[in-house]
Amino acid sequence: MRLINRHPGRVSATLLGLLPFLLIALIYSLASQERLADNPNDKLLPGLEQMTAAVDRMAFQEDRRSGDFLMWQDTTASLARLGIGVGVAALLALFVGILNGVLPLVRANLAPLVSALSMVPPLAILPILFIVFGLGELSKVMLIVIGTAPIMMRDVAQRVRELPGEQLIKIQTLGANSWQVITRMALPQVLPRLIDAVRLSLGPAWLFLIAAEAIASTEGLGYRIFLVRRYLAMDVILPYVIWITILAIVIDQCLRLTNRRLFPWYNAGGY
């Protein structure tokens, strides 16, 4: 049988999917054991024991200096920045994207600007943000907004324009004015697509968050990673990276389920 026609069963698919993870864990632990056997104080490839100890210290014990649980403090600080930044960006994208998609006059006026803005590398203007908004929360949130909003605006406008032209004619023959075309046709159909756009933007959003935190911050997941880098504290960095990955997966899946729950017509083949 041709290779392209051979499909794995349920169990073997799961096993095949798990295999790379197990392989990486195995290779890592072997390499780590070897280095630790040479030098018990090796920092580069910490074993499970060192990492659990580090997590215990960061997450479940008060910091000796500040009295805070650092990992939770970092997590809430980062998630707040990420949430506000992506939230603001999504609202902006919805507003500008729908106007761009529905109204030809606005499109002629704004679409070139949005296209140009989406081409600006956000990290290149990070210094400007620090100068203009200072080193506080605002500049970090602004980086996420500026980094993700233009692309989402274009995406939303594109989704609006992909709605069949027949619908636009039909709703006019039902007497809709321009406002009603937006509120009853474009907006409700674009909301699930906006959530999809947010899911795709979360990757860049994390990137901008960690970059901003690395440069100027006093708390946050990115800040911590870059801080402990000075002491080669891989036993903290690795669990932090895994923790960020878990957070990203959980957020993504929550958005996916929200989409399913709120818009049954969207995923069920409405389109």
Residues in the site for other proteins, rule: CB under 8 A?
164, 166-167, 169-177, 179-180, 183-185, 188-189, 263-266, 268-271
Which of residues 97 and 220 has its CB atom nearest to other proteins in the complex? 97
Q: Which residue has the tokens 């960095």?
A: 237
Which of residues 75 and 189 has its CB atom nearest to other proteins in the complex? 189
Shortest distance (Å) from residue 174 CB to other proteins:
4
Asked if 244 contacts 72 with a C-beta cutoff of 8 angstroms, the reply is: no
Alpha-carbon 82 to chain mean position = 8
Shortest distance (Å) from residue 91 CB to other proteins:
20
Q: How many CB atoms lie within 10 A of CB 33?
A: 12
Shortest distance (Å) from residue 229 CB to other proteins:
49
Q: How far is CA 48 from CA 36, 219, 239, in A?
A: 12, 25, 10
Shortest distance (Å) from residue 268 CB to other proteins:
6
Which of residues 187 and 202 has its CB atom nearest to other proteins in the complex? 187
Asked if 204 contacts 212 with a C-beta cutoff of 8 angstroms, the reply is: no
Shortest distance (Å) from residue 101 CB to other proteins:
16
3-state secondary structure of 195: helix
Which of residues 21 and 179 has its CB atom nearest to other proteins in the complex? 179
The candidate with the shortest Cα–Cα distance to 191, out of 80, 104, 97, is 97
Shortest distance (Å) from residue 185 CB to other proteins:
7
Amino acid 157 reads A
Amino acid 54 reads A
Structure tokens at 53: 């100890």
Q: To 10 degrees, the CA torsion angle through 140, 145, 147, 153?
A: 180
Backbone phi and psi for residue 202, each to the nearest 5 degrees, phi listed first: -65, -35
Shortest distance (Å) from residue 13 CB to other proteins:
29
Which of residues 140 and 193 has its CB atom nearest to other proteins in the complex? 193
Alpha-carbon distance of 81 to 242, in angstroms, equals 19
Shortest distance (Å) from residue 191 CB to other proteins:
9
Alpha-carbon distance of 106 to 83, in angstroms, equals 29
Which of residues 231 and 271 has its CB atom nearest to other proteins in the complex? 271
Sign of the C-alpha dihedral computed for residues 201, 205, 139 and 122 taken in this order: negative
Which of residues 115 and 167 has its CB atom nearest to other proteins in the complex? 167
Which of residues 60 and 265 has its CB atom nearest to other proteins in the complex? 265
